Chains A and B, each alone.
Chain A
Amino acid sequence: MAHDTTLSDAHAEHEHHELPTVFGFWVYLMTDCIIFGSLFAVFAVLRNQFAGGPTGKELFEISGLALETALLLISSITYGFGMIAAHKGQIKSVQMWLAVTFLLGLGFVFLELREFAHMIADGAGPDRSAFLSAFFTLVSTHGLHVSCGLVWLVVMIVQLSGVSAINERMMNKLTMLSLFWHFLDIVWICVFTYVYLASMI
């Protein structure tokens, strides 16, 4: 087993320089997956502990949720088009798709913050009940990740404007941001299904 590992590692390093970095980032994403898994477990345990406060059915609006979901889903494919352009070496096109992705992500964060603000103004803040504490912790952790992704997108757009060709290092960064962004969309699938839709049944 150990012998086999060393062999294939040496092989990988010889032919694919991007593997160790991207693999390391993949491992980070898996630890992030554990964070979200534990927050989902907390929400699953506390989802009916309303303490006499508002329930999910009373609080959540399906139109706002559909819009947030659509924005994040479309931003996934726009980033995908950015990656295709990157593989073709079209820097301007990559920057354009990344900018579109940024705007869609910004729209998502804006809608989420507006929803939170409305809830808190209506007295349904994170301190109202165990259900709402779990809700705000889980959903805002996802929102925080998306916000970090937005910062990363801006950094990539700026870095790309300073190069004449996309080298391997730049490609690695774009690949890792791609994994990060698509991973957040997967987390959102679980959020809109278990947190929102399951509460509206």
Chain B
Amino acid sequence: MSNDHSAAHGGSSHGNATSYIIGFVLAVILTAAAFMVVMGHSLSPSATLMAITVLAAIQVVVHLIFFLHMSTTAEQAWNNKVFLFTLGFVAIFFVGTMFIMDNTAAHMMSR
């Protein structure tokens, strides 16, 4: 249905100089912020870890949108489905691994 519409604008999915520069400036700000939070030592260790985690997550999204040109258009639908599947897959085995290995270490008193 919306295929016809997106096909007409197919050329817009590869980005232009402005979008690359916006993405680059955002990425530089986020990277510099992460370095400064760690070098400044002004936050507690757990707050620092939380801050750089949030900054990294935002920067990944910035790269996906401005550099890999991910969008919600119909022609990107399958790319997005595979991406979401992979994200879910990685989340399950990452969290699962952490849980199992942490539990094992606690029971075997290996720490």
Taking a contact as CB atoms under 8 Å apart, the answer to whether A193 and B16 are in contact is no
Return chain B residues, CB-CB under 8 Å to A48.
111
- 8 A Cβ contacts from B1-33 to A: 3, 7, 10-11, 14-17, 20-21, 23-24, 27-28, 31
Q: Please indicate which of the listed interface residues A76, A77, A182 has the most CB atoms of chain B within 10 Å of its own CB.
A: A77
Given A41-B93, A84-B20, A189-B59: A197 touches B75 (CB 8 Å cut-off): no
Taking a contact as CB atoms under 8 Å apart, the answer to whether A83 and B14 are in contact is yes
Taking a contact as CB atoms under 8 Å apart, the answer to whether B49 and A198 are in contact is yes
Closest approach, in angstroms, between the C-beta of B32 and any C-beta of chain A?
9
- 8 A Cβ contacts from A37-89 to B: 37-38, 40-41, 44-45, 48, 62, 66, 69, 73, 76-77, 80-81, 83-84, 87
B33-56 to A contact mask, C-beta < 8 Å, 1/0: 011001100000100110011011
Taking a contact as CB atoms under 8 Å apart, the answer to whether B79 and A189 are in contact is no
Q: How far is the CA of A27 from the CA of B101 in the complex (A)?
A: 29
Closest approach, in angstroms, between the C-beta of B96 and any C-beta of chain A?
9
Return chain A residues, CB-CB under 8 Å to B16.
84
Identity of the chain A residue whose Cβ is nearest the Cβ of B35 in the assembled complex: A66
Closest approach, in angstroms, between the C-beta of B75 and any C-beta of chain A?
7
Q: How far is the CA of A19 from the CA of B13 in the complex (A)?
A: 12
A193 contact from B52, B82, B90, B97, Cβ within 8 A: B52
Return chain A residues, CB-CB under 8 Å to B63.
76, 182, 185-186, 189
- A179 on the B face (CB < 8 A): yes
How many A-B pairs have beta carbons closer than 8 Å: the answer is 114
- Interface of B: prevailing SS: helix
Return chain B residues, CB-CB under 8 Å to A83.
14-15
Identity of the chain A residue whose Cβ is nearest the Cβ of B27 in the assembled complex: A73
B86 contact from A33, A41, A185, Cβ within 8 A: A33
Taking a contact as CB atoms under 8 Å apart, the answer to whether B75 and A16 are in contact is yes
Taking a contact as CB atoms under 8 Å apart, the answer to whether A201 and B60 are in contact is no
Q: How far is the CA of A37 from the CA of B87 in the complex (A)?
A: 9
Return chain A residues, CB-CB under 8 Å to B93.
37-38, 41
Return chain B residues, CB-CB under 8 Å to A80.
15, 20, 23-24, 67
Taking a contact as CB atoms under 8 Å apart, the answer to whether B90 and A37 are in contact is yes
- A15 on the B face (CB < 8 A): yes
Beyond the given A30-B86, A37-B89, A38-B93, please list 4 additional residue pairs across the A-B interface where CB-CB is below 8 A: A8-B74, A16-B10, A33-B86, A193-B55
* Residues of chain A whose beta carbon lies under 8 Å from any beta carbon of chain B: 8, 11-12, 15-16, 19, 23, 26-27, 30, 33-34, 37-38, 40-41, 44-45, 48, 62, 66, 69, 73, 76-77, 80-81, 83-84, 87, 175, 179, 182-183, 185-186, 189-190, 192-194, 197-198, 200-201
